[in-house]
Amino acid sequence: MGSSVGKLVTRLKAAGEPSRLRLLSLLAAGERTVKDLTDILGQSQPRISRHLKILSDAGLVARNPEGSWVYYRLAEDDAELAQALVAGLDPDDPIIRRDRERLQAIRRQAQEHAERYFGQHAGEWDRIRSLHVPEREVESAILAAAGPGPFRSMLDIGTGTGRMLELFAERYERGLGIDLSPAMLAVARSKLERAGIGHARVRLGDITNLPVLRESFDLVVIHQVLHFVENPQRAIAEAAAALAPDGRLLVIDFAPHQLEFLREEHAHRRLGFAHGQMAQWIAAAGLNLASAQDLGPKPGAGPGLTVTIWSADRAQIARTTQTEAGETVR
C-alpha cells in the first residue's frame, strides 16, 4: 500500500504545476513533439523538456524517439489518472482554449505538409492500384478474412499512410502502426487525427526487428509491404512472434507477376509471392496457414496484378491425454 500511495503522490506532484497540466491536456489529444509543445505554450525548449522529463519520470508521459525527433504521449500504464486530471480542467479557461487553438493550427500545418507529400506520390500509388481489382473489394475481403473481432490490440506492420489502422478502427481497442519512413508516419498521424482515431498510434521501427512486446497483439497485418523487403521470411517471423496465442496474422500482397517496371520504377524487390513459398514461411514461423484468397483482374481486363490475402494463426500442438479407460485421445 505504501508503494502505491507513494507512486500516486509522485504523479500528483508531477502534474501539480500549471504548465505540466497544460502539457497533459495537449498530449491527451495525441502525440506531439517538443517543438510542437514549445510553439503552443510559448516557452523555451529547455523548459518544456524539463517539464516533460518530470512527467516522464513520474510515469504520466511516455517518450517515443523517431530519428532526430522525439514524440511524447500519455503513458498507457496510467492513462486514466492523466485523463481524470485533464477532465478536471475547464475547457473554457482562456489559457486552455488558447492552447487548443494553437494545437489546431499545428495540426493544420502537419496535415498540409502530409497532403503535399501524399500528392507528390499519389500518382505512383494510383498507377499501381489501377492494375488490380478495386481497393474497396480488396478491403472488404481483408475485413472478412480478419473476422469480426473485437480485438484488444492490432499491429500494422509497415503502416504507410495508416490505412489499415483506419480500416479496422471500429474493431480494435488499441492500434499500433510501425514504419521505417518518417515521412509516411507523418502522413499516417495526420490521417488518423483527421479521422478522429485516438486509440491508434504510429512509431518508427524496422519491420524485421519489431520494437514491440512478444505475443501481445490479437491481430497483426502486413499489407502490401513484403514486396519491398529484402528478407520477407524474417518479417513474417517477427510478425508471428508479436502474435498473441489466439491471434490472427493477415498478409496481403501480390501473387507472382511479370510487371518488371514495378521493380525498376517503384523499388519492388519481389515481383509477387507464390502460395507455396508463403506457406513455407508461415509454417517456419510456427503458424498455420488458415486460408489464401486470390483477387484477380476481371476477365478481359488484360494483364494485371492479383492480390492475395493469406490468413494464419498459431499452430496448436496436439496434446495426448489418457482417458480413464486407457484410450489415447488427441
Helix (H, G, I), strand (E, B) or coil at 131: coil
- Give alpha helix (H) positions in the chain: 2-15, 18-27, 34-41, 45-57, 79-87, 94-129, 135-146, 163-167, 182-194, 232-242, 261-266, 275-284
Residues in the chain, pLDDT under 70: 1-2, 66-68, 77-78, 111, 113-127, 129-130, 299-303, 315-330
The string of pLDDT tens digits covering residues 66-125 is 666 788 888 876 678 888 888 898 989 999 999 999 998 988 887 676 566 556 665 566
Residues 127 and 61: beta-carbon distance below 8 Å: no
pLDDT of residue 120: 66
Angle at 157 between CA 152 and CA 162, to 5 degrees: 80
pLDDT of residue 290: 94
Q: In this structure, what DSSP letter does residue 316 have?
A: P
pLDDT of residue 300: 60
pLDDT of residue 322: 34
Angle at 202 between CA 199 and CA 204, to 5 degrees: 160
Helix (H, G, I), strand (E, B) or coil at 237: helix
219, containing H or E segment? strand 217-223
Closest CA to 41 of 100, 1, 127: 100
pLDDT of residue 281: 93
pLDDT of residue 328: 32
pLDDT of residue 110: 74
Report d(CA 246, CA 287) in Å as an integer.
Answer: 11
pLDDT of residue 303: 64
Report d(CA 195, CA 217) in Å as an integer.
Answer: 23
